[in-house]
Amino acid sequence: MRPEDLVHFCPPGRLIIGCGARHQLPELLARLGYRRGVLVTDSFFTGHTPWVGEYREAARRHGIDTLVYDGGLPDPTTTLCDEATASVRERLAGAAPDHVIALGGGSNIDLAKALSLTLPEGRPIAAFTGDIGGCRPLPLIALPTTAGTGSEATPGAILLDPANATKIAVMDNELRPRIALIDPEFTYTCPPRVTADAGIDAFTHAIESFLTLDSARFERGGNPDPGYTGRSALTMLFARESMRLCFAWMERAYQLGDDTEARIGMAYASLYAALSYGSAGLNAVHGIAYAVAGQTHKSHGSTNAVMLPYVLDALCDSRRSEMLEIAALMGLTGETPEHTARQVPVAVREMIGRLDIPTDLRRFGIAREQLDALCADALGVTRLAKAMPVEDVEGTYRRIIDNAWEGRLSGCR
Ligand SMILES: NC(=O)c1ccc[n+]([C@@H]2O[C@H](COP(=O)([O-])OP(=O)(O)OC[C@H]3O[C@@H](n4cnc5c(N)ncnc54)[C@H](O)[C@@H]3O)[C@@H](O)[C@H]2O)c1
Protein backbone atom coordinates (compact mmCIF):
# COMPACT_ATOMS: atom_id res chain seq x y z
CA MET A 1 0.00 0.00 0.00
CA ARG A 2 1.22 3.51 -0.83
CA PRO A 3 -1.17 6.14 0.59
CA GLU A 4 -0.66 8.59 -2.28
CA ASP A 5 -1.61 6.07 -5.03
CA LEU A 6 -4.52 6.80 -7.39
CA VAL A 7 -5.31 3.39 -8.84
CA HIS A 8 -7.25 2.90 -12.09
CA PHE A 9 -6.67 -0.77 -12.85
CA CYS A 10 -8.22 -2.37 -15.94
CA PRO A 11 -7.48 -6.06 -16.39
CA PRO A 12 -9.13 -8.10 -19.17
CA GLY A 13 -12.68 -9.26 -18.42
CA ARG A 14 -11.69 -12.87 -17.82
CA LEU A 15 -8.26 -14.42 -17.40
CA ILE A 16 -8.00 -18.14 -18.13
CA ILE A 17 -4.58 -19.70 -17.68
CA GLY A 18 -3.30 -23.25 -17.91
CA CYS A 19 -1.79 -25.91 -20.13
CA GLY A 20 -4.57 -27.15 -22.41
CA ALA A 21 -6.90 -24.31 -21.36
CA ARG A 22 -7.71 -23.72 -25.05
CA HIS A 23 -10.03 -26.74 -25.01
CA GLN A 24 -12.45 -24.89 -22.68
CA LEU A 25 -13.00 -22.01 -25.06
CA PRO A 26 -15.77 -23.26 -27.41
CA GLU A 27 -18.06 -24.25 -24.53
CA LEU A 28 -17.39 -20.97 -22.71
CA LEU A 29 -18.15 -18.87 -25.80
CA ALA A 30 -21.35 -20.83 -26.42
CA ARG A 31 -22.42 -20.26 -22.82
CA LEU A 32 -21.75 -16.53 -23.21
CA GLY A 33 -24.11 -16.54 -26.20
CA TYR A 34 -21.67 -16.02 -29.05
CA ARG A 35 -22.70 -17.49 -32.40
CA ARG A 36 -20.55 -16.04 -35.20
CA GLY A 37 -16.87 -15.24 -34.89
CA VAL A 38 -13.89 -14.09 -36.94
CA LEU A 39 -10.60 -15.77 -36.01
CA VAL A 40 -7.57 -13.61 -36.90
CA THR A 41 -4.25 -15.43 -37.25
CA ASP A 42 -1.39 -15.99 -39.69
CA SER A 43 -0.46 -18.78 -42.07
CA PHE A 44 1.94 -20.44 -39.58
CA PHE A 45 -1.02 -21.39 -37.42
CA THR A 46 -3.29 -22.57 -40.24
CA GLY A 47 -0.44 -24.36 -42.06
CA HIS A 48 1.68 -25.84 -39.27
CA THR A 49 -0.50 -26.37 -36.20
CA PRO A 50 -3.78 -28.22 -35.62
CA TRP A 51 -5.11 -25.42 -33.37
CA VAL A 52 -7.24 -23.51 -35.88
CA GLY A 53 -8.93 -26.59 -37.32
CA GLU A 54 -9.52 -28.10 -33.88
CA TYR A 55 -11.03 -24.89 -32.53
CA ARG A 56 -13.26 -24.32 -35.53
CA GLU A 57 -14.65 -27.85 -35.41
CA ALA A 58 -15.24 -27.78 -31.63
CA ALA A 59 -16.88 -24.35 -31.91
CA ARG A 60 -19.14 -25.64 -34.70
CA ARG A 61 -20.28 -28.48 -32.44
CA HIS A 62 -21.27 -25.77 -29.93
CA GLY A 63 -23.26 -23.86 -32.53
CA ILE A 64 -20.62 -21.22 -33.32
CA ASP A 65 -19.62 -20.40 -36.92
CA THR A 66 -16.06 -19.15 -37.32
CA LEU A 67 -14.59 -17.38 -40.33
CA VAL A 68 -10.79 -17.71 -40.38
CA TYR A 69 -8.61 -14.86 -41.63
CA ASP A 70 -4.97 -16.01 -41.75
CA GLY A 71 -3.35 -13.03 -43.51
CA GLY A 72 -1.69 -11.69 -40.35
CA LEU A 73 1.94 -10.50 -40.67
CA PRO A 74 4.60 -9.38 -38.17
CA ASP A 75 4.21 -5.69 -37.27
CA PRO A 76 0.86 -5.16 -39.06
CA THR A 77 0.39 -1.95 -41.01
CA THR A 78 -2.68 0.25 -41.32
CA THR A 79 -2.82 -0.86 -44.98
CA LEU A 80 -2.95 -4.55 -43.98
CA CYS A 81 -5.71 -3.76 -41.51
CA ASP A 82 -7.81 -1.95 -44.14
CA GLU A 83 -7.30 -4.75 -46.67
CA ALA A 84 -8.23 -7.37 -44.05
CA THR A 85 -11.36 -5.38 -43.16
CA ALA A 86 -12.50 -5.35 -46.80
CA SER A 87 -11.66 -9.02 -47.37
CA VAL A 88 -13.38 -10.31 -44.22
CA ARG A 89 -16.48 -8.16 -44.79
CA GLU A 90 -16.76 -9.48 -48.33
CA ARG A 91 -16.49 -13.08 -47.11
CA LEU A 92 -19.07 -12.40 -44.39
CA ALA A 93 -21.49 -11.28 -47.14
CA GLY A 94 -23.56 -9.12 -44.83
CA ALA A 95 -23.57 -11.48 -41.81
CA ALA A 96 -22.63 -9.64 -38.61
CA PRO A 97 -19.95 -11.26 -36.40
CA ASP A 98 -20.51 -11.06 -32.65
CA HIS A 99 -16.88 -11.66 -31.57
CA VAL A 100 -13.29 -11.66 -32.81
CA ILE A 101 -10.66 -14.21 -31.75
CA ALA A 102 -6.93 -13.48 -32.01
CA LEU A 103 -4.52 -16.42 -32.22
CA GLY A 104 -0.85 -15.48 -32.45
CA GLY A 105 1.79 -13.15 -31.13
CA GLY A 106 1.36 -9.46 -30.47
CA SER A 107 1.10 -8.75 -34.20
CA ASN A 108 -2.01 -10.90 -34.72
CA ILE A 109 -3.57 -9.73 -31.46
CA ASP A 110 -3.07 -6.08 -32.44
CA LEU A 111 -4.50 -6.70 -35.91
CA ALA A 112 -7.51 -8.40 -34.31
CA LYS A 113 -7.97 -5.48 -31.91
CA ALA A 114 -8.01 -3.11 -34.89
CA LEU A 115 -10.44 -5.36 -36.78
CA SER A 116 -12.76 -5.46 -33.78
CA LEU A 117 -13.21 -1.73 -34.45
CA THR A 118 -13.30 -1.68 -38.24
CA LEU A 119 -15.36 -4.81 -39.08
CA PRO A 120 -18.79 -3.54 -37.98
CA GLU A 121 -18.88 -0.60 -40.43
CA GLY A 122 -15.88 -1.10 -42.70
CA ARG A 123 -14.27 2.22 -41.81
CA PRO A 124 -10.48 2.64 -42.22
CA ILE A 125 -8.45 2.15 -39.05
CA ALA A 126 -7.09 5.71 -39.40
CA ALA A 127 -10.57 6.88 -38.33
CA PHE A 128 -9.87 5.45 -34.87
CA THR A 129 -6.31 6.62 -34.16
CA GLY A 130 -5.95 8.91 -31.18
CA ASP A 131 -9.51 8.49 -29.99
CA ILE A 132 -11.98 5.73 -30.87
CA GLY A 133 -14.76 8.27 -30.45
CA GLY A 134 -17.05 6.31 -28.14
CA CYS A 135 -17.21 3.44 -30.65
CA ARG A 136 -17.91 -0.03 -29.19
CA PRO A 137 -15.55 -2.64 -30.68
CA LEU A 138 -16.64 -6.25 -31.11
CA PRO A 139 -15.77 -8.40 -28.06
CA LEU A 140 -12.25 -9.75 -28.42
CA ILE A 141 -10.87 -13.07 -27.21
CA ALA A 142 -7.06 -13.14 -27.21
CA LEU A 143 -5.02 -16.36 -27.38
CA PRO A 144 -1.33 -15.34 -27.21
CA THR A 145 1.21 -17.74 -28.73
CA THR A 146 4.33 -15.83 -27.68
CA ALA A 147 5.34 -14.97 -24.11
CA GLY A 148 6.16 -11.32 -24.53
CA THR A 149 3.88 -8.52 -25.63
CA GLY A 150 1.05 -8.96 -23.15
CA SER A 151 -1.26 -7.41 -25.74
CA GLU A 152 -3.95 -9.78 -24.38
CA ALA A 153 -4.18 -7.50 -21.32
CA THR A 154 -3.53 -4.01 -22.70
CA PRO A 155 -5.81 -1.28 -24.08
CA GLY A 156 -3.82 -0.64 -27.26
CA ALA A 157 -3.12 -1.89 -30.75
CA ILE A 158 0.18 -0.87 -32.31
CA LEU A 159 0.17 -0.55 -36.11
CA LEU A 160 2.83 0.65 -38.54
CA ASP A 161 1.86 3.63 -40.62
CA PRO A 162 3.59 3.03 -43.99
CA ALA A 163 3.23 6.74 -44.85
CA ASN A 164 5.86 7.78 -42.30
CA ALA A 165 7.31 4.49 -41.01
CA THR A 166 6.28 5.19 -37.41
CA LYS A 167 4.17 3.06 -35.11
CA ILE A 168 0.78 4.45 -34.23
CA ALA A 169 -1.41 3.38 -31.34
CA VAL A 170 -5.15 2.87 -31.28
CA MET A 171 -5.96 3.00 -27.60
CA ASP A 172 -9.00 2.65 -25.39
CA ASN A 173 -9.97 0.49 -22.42
CA GLU A 174 -12.80 -0.87 -24.61
CA LEU A 175 -10.09 -2.59 -26.68
CA ARG A 176 -8.99 -4.76 -23.78
CA PRO A 177 -9.90 -8.36 -24.52
CA ARG A 178 -13.09 -9.67 -22.89
CA ILE A 179 -11.25 -12.94 -22.46
CA ALA A 180 -7.49 -13.48 -22.32
CA LEU A 181 -6.78 -17.20 -22.52
CA ILE A 182 -3.16 -18.07 -21.82
CA ASP A 183 -2.37 -21.64 -22.78
CA PRO A 184 1.41 -21.97 -22.40
CA GLU A 185 1.35 -24.94 -24.82
CA PHE A 186 0.77 -22.40 -27.62
CA THR A 187 4.31 -21.09 -27.03
CA TYR A 188 6.09 -24.46 -27.25
CA THR A 189 6.57 -24.09 -31.03
CA CYS A 190 8.21 -20.63 -30.82
CA PRO A 191 11.65 -20.69 -32.45
CA PRO A 192 14.58 -19.43 -30.31
CA ARG A 193 14.75 -15.96 -31.90
CA VAL A 194 11.03 -15.30 -31.37
CA THR A 195 11.34 -16.69 -27.82
CA ALA A 196 14.23 -14.37 -26.92
CA ASP A 197 12.78 -11.23 -28.53
CA ALA A 198 9.40 -11.82 -26.90
CA GLY A 199 10.98 -12.71 -23.54
CA ILE A 200 13.02 -9.52 -23.36
CA ASP A 201 9.89 -7.58 -24.34
CA ALA A 202 8.10 -9.02 -21.29
CA PHE A 203 11.06 -8.23 -19.05
CA THR A 204 11.20 -4.66 -20.40
CA HIS A 205 7.49 -4.22 -19.67
CA ALA A 206 8.01 -5.38 -16.09
CA ILE A 207 11.10 -3.33 -15.24
CA GLU A 208 10.07 -0.20 -17.17
CA SER A 209 6.65 -0.07 -15.52
CA PHE A 210 8.21 -0.82 -12.11
CA LEU A 211 10.32 2.34 -12.47
CA THR A 212 7.87 4.62 -14.26
CA LEU A 213 6.07 7.75 -13.08
CA ASP A 214 3.94 7.39 -9.92
CA SER A 215 0.17 7.26 -10.30
CA ALA A 216 -0.17 10.34 -8.08
CA ARG A 217 1.89 12.38 -10.58
CA PHE A 218 0.47 10.92 -13.80
CA GLU A 219 -1.28 13.43 -16.08
CA ARG A 220 -4.67 11.90 -17.07
CA GLY A 221 -5.65 14.72 -19.42
CA GLY A 222 -9.13 14.95 -17.89
CA ASN A 223 -9.97 11.42 -19.09
CA PRO A 224 -12.28 9.65 -16.60
CA ASP A 225 -11.33 6.26 -18.09
CA PRO A 226 -7.60 6.49 -18.86
CA GLY A 227 -5.76 3.48 -20.29
CA TYR A 228 -2.50 4.21 -18.47
CA THR A 229 -2.18 5.96 -15.12
CA GLY A 230 1.32 5.44 -13.72
CA ARG A 231 2.69 2.88 -11.29
CA SER A 232 1.00 1.95 -8.03
CA ALA A 233 1.64 -0.62 -5.32
CA LEU A 234 -0.76 -2.89 -7.24
CA THR A 235 1.07 -2.72 -10.58
CA MET A 236 4.42 -3.08 -8.80
CA LEU A 237 3.31 -6.39 -7.27
CA PHE A 238 2.90 -7.85 -10.74
CA ALA A 239 6.11 -6.24 -12.03
CA ARG A 240 8.21 -7.73 -9.21
CA GLU A 241 6.89 -11.23 -9.78
CA SER A 242 7.32 -10.89 -13.53
CA MET A 243 10.98 -9.86 -13.14
CA ARG A 244 11.60 -12.77 -10.77
CA LEU A 245 10.13 -15.20 -13.31
CA CYS A 246 12.15 -13.66 -16.15
CA PHE A 247 15.40 -14.03 -14.21
CA ALA A 248 14.50 -17.66 -13.50
CA TRP A 249 13.23 -18.76 -16.93
CA MET A 250 13.93 -16.37 -19.82
CA GLU A 251 17.38 -17.61 -20.82
CA ARG A 252 16.38 -21.23 -20.27
CA ALA A 253 13.34 -20.88 -22.56
CA TYR A 254 15.66 -19.43 -25.23
CA GLN A 255 18.33 -22.12 -24.89
CA LEU A 256 16.06 -25.10 -24.22
CA GLY A 257 12.80 -24.51 -26.04
CA ASP A 258 11.42 -27.89 -24.98
CA ASP A 259 11.73 -27.08 -21.26
CA THR A 260 8.03 -26.81 -20.52
CA GLU A 261 8.56 -25.38 -17.01
CA ALA A 262 10.56 -22.51 -18.54
CA ARG A 263 7.82 -21.96 -21.14
CA ILE A 264 5.12 -21.89 -18.46
CA GLY A 265 7.25 -19.56 -16.31
CA MET A 266 7.59 -17.12 -19.20
CA ALA A 267 3.86 -17.32 -20.03
CA TYR A 268 3.15 -16.10 -16.49
CA ALA A 269 6.01 -13.56 -16.63
CA SER A 270 4.55 -12.05 -19.79
CA LEU A 271 1.02 -11.85 -18.39
CA TYR A 272 2.16 -10.40 -15.05
CA ALA A 273 4.26 -7.81 -16.87
CA ALA A 274 1.16 -6.86 -18.85
CA LEU A 275 -0.91 -6.57 -15.68
CA SER A 276 1.71 -4.08 -14.52
CA TYR A 277 2.43 -2.01 -17.61
CA GLY A 278 -1.12 -2.38 -18.96
CA SER A 279 -2.20 0.10 -16.28
CA ALA A 280 1.06 1.78 -15.17
CA GLY A 281 2.32 2.49 -18.69
CA LEU A 282 5.87 2.77 -19.99
CA ASN A 283 8.38 5.50 -20.77
CA ALA A 284 11.74 6.04 -22.46
CA VAL A 285 12.66 2.45 -23.41
CA HIS A 286 9.56 2.05 -25.56
CA GLY A 287 9.56 5.71 -26.59
CA ILE A 288 13.07 5.47 -28.06
CA ALA A 289 12.59 1.87 -29.27
CA TYR A 290 9.66 2.96 -31.48
CA ALA A 291 12.02 5.44 -33.18
CA VAL A 292 14.76 2.78 -33.50
CA ALA A 293 12.20 0.40 -35.08
CA GLY A 294 11.19 3.14 -37.53
CA GLN A 295 14.84 3.39 -38.69
CA THR A 296 15.87 -0.28 -38.58
CA HIS A 297 12.62 -2.30 -38.94
CA LYS A 298 14.02 -4.77 -36.40
CA SER A 299 11.78 -6.73 -34.02
CA HIS A 300 9.91 -4.97 -31.23
CA GLY A 301 11.68 -6.97 -28.51
CA SER A 302 15.19 -6.34 -29.84
CA THR A 303 14.63 -2.58 -30.27
CA ASN A 304 13.53 -2.45 -26.63
CA ALA A 305 16.48 -4.56 -25.53
CA VAL A 306 19.13 -2.37 -27.13
CA MET A 307 17.82 0.71 -25.27
CA LEU A 308 16.96 -0.87 -21.92
CA PRO A 309 20.38 -0.82 -20.12
CA TYR A 310 20.96 2.84 -20.99
CA VAL A 311 17.51 3.95 -19.77
CA LEU A 312 18.07 2.00 -16.53
CA ASP A 313 21.41 3.75 -16.12
CA ALA A 314 19.67 7.13 -16.44
CA LEU A 315 17.24 6.14 -13.66
CA CYS A 316 19.84 4.98 -11.13
CA ASP A 317 19.55 8.21 -9.10
CA SER A 318 15.80 8.94 -9.27
CA ARG A 319 14.87 5.27 -8.68
CA ARG A 320 17.68 4.20 -6.32
CA SER A 321 15.64 2.11 -3.86
CA GLU A 322 13.79 0.26 -6.65
CA MET A 323 17.11 -0.39 -8.39
CA LEU A 324 18.40 -1.95 -5.16
CA GLU A 325 15.32 -4.19 -5.03
CA ILE A 326 16.06 -5.36 -8.58
CA ALA A 327 19.72 -5.89 -7.67
CA ALA A 328 18.59 -8.14 -4.81
CA LEU A 329 16.34 -10.13 -7.19
CA MET A 330 19.37 -10.58 -9.47
CA GLY A 331 21.69 -11.47 -6.61
CA LEU A 332 23.95 -8.45 -7.24
CA THR A 333 26.03 -6.83 -4.53
CA GLY A 334 28.35 -3.81 -4.55
CA GLU A 335 30.60 -1.84 -2.22
CA THR A 336 27.99 0.92 -1.67
CA PRO A 337 24.25 1.22 -2.46
CA GLU A 338 25.14 3.48 -5.40
CA HIS A 339 27.63 0.96 -6.73
CA THR A 340 25.09 -1.86 -6.33
CA ALA A 341 22.38 0.13 -8.15
CA ARG A 342 24.74 0.87 -11.04
CA GLN A 343 25.45 -2.83 -11.46
CA VAL A 344 21.83 -3.45 -12.52
CA PRO A 345 22.13 -1.91 -16.03
CA VAL A 346 25.45 -3.72 -16.50
CA ALA A 347 23.98 -7.11 -15.53
CA VAL A 348 20.86 -6.51 -17.66
CA ARG A 349 23.10 -5.71 -20.63
CA GLU A 350 25.04 -8.95 -20.11
CA MET A 351 21.74 -10.86 -20.00
CA ILE A 352 20.64 -9.23 -23.28
CA GLY A 353 23.99 -10.20 -24.83
CA ARG A 354 23.38 -13.82 -23.79
CA LEU A 355 20.12 -13.65 -25.78
CA ASP A 356 22.27 -12.77 -28.82
CA ILE A 357 20.82 -9.27 -29.21
CA PRO A 358 23.25 -6.42 -30.05
CA THR A 359 23.84 -4.28 -26.97
CA ASP A 360 24.61 -0.88 -28.48
CA LEU A 361 23.02 1.23 -31.22
CA ARG A 362 26.11 1.21 -33.40
CA ARG A 363 26.07 -2.60 -33.66
CA PHE A 364 22.30 -2.41 -34.08
CA GLY A 365 22.85 -0.66 -37.42
CA ILE A 366 22.27 2.98 -36.47
CA ALA A 367 24.75 5.55 -37.89
CA ARG A 368 25.90 8.48 -35.75
CA GLU A 369 24.26 10.89 -38.25
CA GLN A 370 20.87 9.32 -37.44
CA LEU A 371 21.00 10.15 -33.72
CA ASP A 372 19.47 13.66 -33.96
CA ALA A 373 16.48 12.35 -35.91
CA LEU A 374 16.20 9.40 -33.53
CA CYS A 375 16.04 11.73 -30.53
CA ALA A 376 13.47 14.01 -32.17
CA ASP A 377 11.28 11.04 -33.18
CA ALA A 378 11.49 9.56 -29.68
CA LEU A 379 10.58 12.85 -27.98
CA GLY A 380 7.67 13.06 -30.44
CA VAL A 381 6.03 10.12 -28.66
CA THR A 382 4.94 12.54 -25.94
CA ARG A 383 2.70 10.14 -23.97
CA LEU A 384 5.82 8.07 -23.18
CA ALA A 385 8.27 10.99 -22.78
CA LYS A 386 5.94 12.59 -20.21
CA ALA A 387 6.09 9.45 -18.06
CA MET A 388 9.89 9.43 -17.72
CA PRO A 389 10.51 10.14 -14.02
CA VAL A 390 13.33 12.70 -14.43
CA GLU A 391 13.38 16.53 -14.40
CA ASP A 392 15.01 17.19 -17.80
CA VAL A 393 13.39 14.69 -20.18
CA GLU A 394 14.87 16.17 -23.37
CA GLY A 395 18.44 16.25 -22.04
CA THR A 396 18.05 12.79 -20.53
CA TYR A 397 16.78 11.30 -23.82
CA ARG A 398 19.79 12.81 -25.62
CA ARG A 399 22.25 11.38 -23.09
CA ILE A 400 20.57 7.96 -23.19
CA ILE A 401 20.80 7.84 -26.99
CA ASP A 402 24.44 8.97 -27.05
CA ASN A 403 25.36 6.43 -24.36
CA ALA A 404 23.46 3.69 -26.20
CA TRP A 405 25.40 4.46 -29.37
CA GLU A 406 28.78 4.48 -27.58
CA GLY A 407 27.85 1.49 -25.38
CA ARG A 408 28.63 3.58 -22.26
CA LEU A 409 27.29 2.60 -18.81
CA SER A 410 28.23 4.40 -15.59
CA GLY A 411 28.68 1.09 -13.75
CA CYS A 412 31.47 0.08 -16.13
CA ARG A 413 33.82 3.01 -15.49
N1 LIG B 1 -0.66 -3.91 -28.11
C2 LIG B 1 0.28 -4.04 -27.23
O3 LIG B 1 0.05 -3.82 -26.06
C4 LIG B 1 1.65 -4.45 -27.69
C5 LIG B 1 2.68 -4.52 -26.75
C6 LIG B 1 3.94 -4.93 -27.18
C7 LIG B 1 4.15 -5.25 -28.51
N8 LIG B 1 3.13 -5.14 -29.40
C9 LIG B 1 3.34 -5.47 -30.82
O10 LIG B 1 3.51 -6.89 -30.92
C11 LIG B 1 4.32 -7.19 -32.07
C12 LIG B 1 5.37 -8.22 -31.70
O13 LIG B 1 4.71 -9.38 -31.27
P14 LIG B 1 5.48 -10.74 -30.92
O15 LIG B 1 6.79 -10.43 -30.32
O16 LIG B 1 4.54 -11.56 -30.16
O17 LIG B 1 5.79 -11.39 -32.34
P18 LIG B 1 4.86 -11.46 -33.66
O19 LIG B 1 3.45 -11.57 -33.30
O20 LIG B 1 5.28 -10.35 -34.56
O21 LIG B 1 5.35 -12.85 -34.28
C22 LIG B 1 6.65 -12.98 -34.83
C23 LIG B 1 6.71 -14.27 -35.65
O24 LIG B 1 6.63 -15.38 -34.77
C25 LIG B 1 5.67 -16.30 -35.24
N26 LIG B 1 5.08 -16.98 -34.09
C27 LIG B 1 4.31 -16.46 -33.12
N28 LIG B 1 3.97 -17.41 -32.22
C29 LIG B 1 4.55 -18.55 -32.65
C30 LIG B 1 4.55 -19.89 -32.15
N31 LIG B 1 3.92 -20.23 -31.03
N32 LIG B 1 5.25 -20.82 -32.86
C33 LIG B 1 5.92 -20.49 -33.98
N34 LIG B 1 5.95 -19.25 -34.49
C35 LIG B 1 5.27 -18.29 -33.83
C36 LIG B 1 4.66 -15.47 -36.00
O37 LIG B 1 3.97 -16.27 -36.95
C38 LIG B 1 5.57 -14.43 -36.65
O39 LIG B 1 6.07 -14.88 -37.86
C40 LIG B 1 4.88 -5.87 -32.55
O41 LIG B 1 4.18 -5.46 -33.69
C42 LIG B 1 4.62 -4.91 -31.41
O43 LIG B 1 4.43 -3.57 -31.82
C44 LIG B 1 1.89 -4.77 -29.00
Nearest by Cα to 294 from 386, 395, 151, 163? 163
Domain ranges in the chain are: 14-187, 192-406
CATH of 192-406, one of 1.20.1090.10, 3.40.50.1820, 2.60.40.10, 3.30.930.10: 1.20.1090.10
pLDDT in tens, 7-51: 999 999 999 999 999 999 999 999 999 999 999 999 999 999 999
| Ligand 1 atom with the shortest distance to the CA of 293 | 43
pLDDT in tens, 386-401: 999 999 999 999 999 9
pLDDT in tens, 265-294: 999 999 999 999 999 999 999 999 999 998
* Amino acid of residue 315: L
pLDDT in tens, 59-99: 999 999 999 999 999 999 999 999 999 999 999 999 999 99
pTM: 0.97
Please compute the mean of the pLDDT values over residues 180-200 and round it to a whole number.
98
| Ligand 1 atom with the shortest distance to the CA of 154 | 3
**Region 14-187: CATH code:** 3.40.50.1970
Q: Which of 40, 45, 107 to mutate to test the pocket of ligand 1 (most atoms within 8 A of CB)?
A: 107
Contact 205, 273 (CB under 8 A): yes
Using the mean position of ligand 1's atoms as its centre, give its distance from the Cα of residue 264 in Å.
17
Tell me how far apart the alpha carbons of residues 312 and 41 are, in angstroms, rounded to a whole number.
Answer: 35
The pLDDT score that the predictor gives to residue 329 is 97
| Ligand 1 atom with the shortest distance to the CA of 155 | 3
Alpha carbon nearest to ligand 1 atom 16, residue: 105
Q: Which of 44, 81, 143, 176 to mutate to test the pocket of ligand 1 (most atoms within 8 A of CB)?
A: 44
Using the mean position of ligand 1's atoms as its centre, give its distance from the Cα of residue 187 in Å.
11
The pLDDT score that the predictor gives to residue 129 is 86
